[in-house]
C-alpha cells in the first residue's frame, strides 16, 4: 500500500521529535538551533509532516512584517528526503500565509534548487530589512551570512 503523507499543525506533544530533527541540522550548521523551551513557546508557528503517522518533517512560519512571512526550521528526517514531503510542507505553509492575507513568503537557505522548484525566485538579502536583526543575532554567522534569500509572491 502507498505511504500516506499528512501535514498538520504541530502540538506540544511533537516538541521532542521537532527538537531532534532541528538539532540534527543545527549541528551541521544549516539551521538555527531551537531549544525545547523555545519550541514549546513557538509551537503554534510549527507544522509537521507524518508519513504513515511517523513524524518525518517540520517547518515553521514567522511573521516579519505586514505583508511578509519567513519559512524557518524546514527539515525532513534523513532517509525521507526526495519523496515530495518538503514540497508538501512548503505548500501547507503557503496556505497558512494566504489565509493570513500575506502576499510574500521568503526563506534564507542553502537549498536553492528545492525552493526554485517550488516557485520561489532568488532575491538579494538586503531587500528584507525586517529580517536583519530579529533572529540573526542568535546566529554564529551573523556577520558572514552565506545563506541565499528566496522569495515567492502568493498573489
Ligand atoms: C530542503 C528539504 C526540506 C527538501 O525536502 P524534500 O522532502 O527532500 O524535498 P521534495 O522531495 O519535496 O523535493 C521537491 C522537489 O525539489 C527537488 N529537490 C529537493 N531537494 C533538492 C536539492 N537539494 N537539490 C535539487 N533539487 C532538490 C526534488 O527533486 C523535487 O523535485 P521533483 O518534484 O521534480 O521531483 C530537505 O532536503 C531538507 O530537510 N534539507 C536539510 C535541511 C535544510 O536545508 N532545510 C532548508 C532550510 S530553509
Alpha carbons 95 and 60: distance in angstroms, whole number: 12
Lowest mean pLDDT among 53-62, 69-78, 92-101, 140-149: 140-149
| The domain defined by 5-153 carries CATH number 3.40.630.30 | yes
Location of C-alpha cell 507524518: 50
Residue partners of 55: CB distance under 8 A and separation at least 6: 14, 17, 18, 48, 49
- Protein residue closest via CA to atom 41 of ligand 1: 75
Domain boundaries, the chain: 5-153
Q: What is the pLDDT at residue 132?
A: 55
107 ligand 1 Cβ < 6 A? yes
pTM above 0.85, yes or no: yes
82 ligand 1 Cβ < 6 A? yes
From the number of C-beta atoms within 10 Å of its C-beta (0-12, 13-18, 19+), residue 108 rates as: buried
Give the residue with greater pLDDT, 3 vs 10. 10
- Indicate the average pLDDT of the chain: 93
114 ligand 1 Cβ < 6 A? yes
- 144-153 mean pLDDT: 90
**Ligand 1 center from residue 109 Cα (angstroms):** 11
Quickly list H helices, 33-74.
36-41
Amino acid at each position: 500500500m502507498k505511504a500516506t503523507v499528512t501535514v498538520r499543525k504541530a502540538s506540544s506533544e511533537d516538541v521532542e521529535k521537532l527538537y531532534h530533527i532541528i538539532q540534527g541540522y543545527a549541528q551541521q550548521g544549516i539551521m538555527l538551533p531551537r531549544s525545547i523551551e523555545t519550541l514549546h513557546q513557538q509551537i503554534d508557528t510549527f507544522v509537521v509532516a507524518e508519513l504513515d503517522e511517523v513524524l518525518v518533517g517540520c517547518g515553521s512560519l514567522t511573521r516579519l512584517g505586514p505583508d511578509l512571512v519567513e519559512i524557518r526550521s524546514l527539515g525532513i528526517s534523513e532517509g525521507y528526503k526526495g519523496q515530495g514531503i518538503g514540497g508538501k510542507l512548503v505548500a501547507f505553509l503557503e496556505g497558512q500565509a494566504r489565509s493570513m492575507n500575506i502576499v510574500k513568503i521568503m526563506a534564507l537557505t542553502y537549498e536553492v534548487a528545492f525552493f526554485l522548484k517550488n516557485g520561489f525566485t532568488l532575491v538579494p538579502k538586503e531587500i528584507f530589512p525586517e529580517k536583519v536583526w530579529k533572529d540573526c543575532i542568535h546566529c554564529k554567522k551573523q556577520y558572514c551570512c552565506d545563506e541565499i534569500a528566496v522569495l515567492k509572491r502568493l498573489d
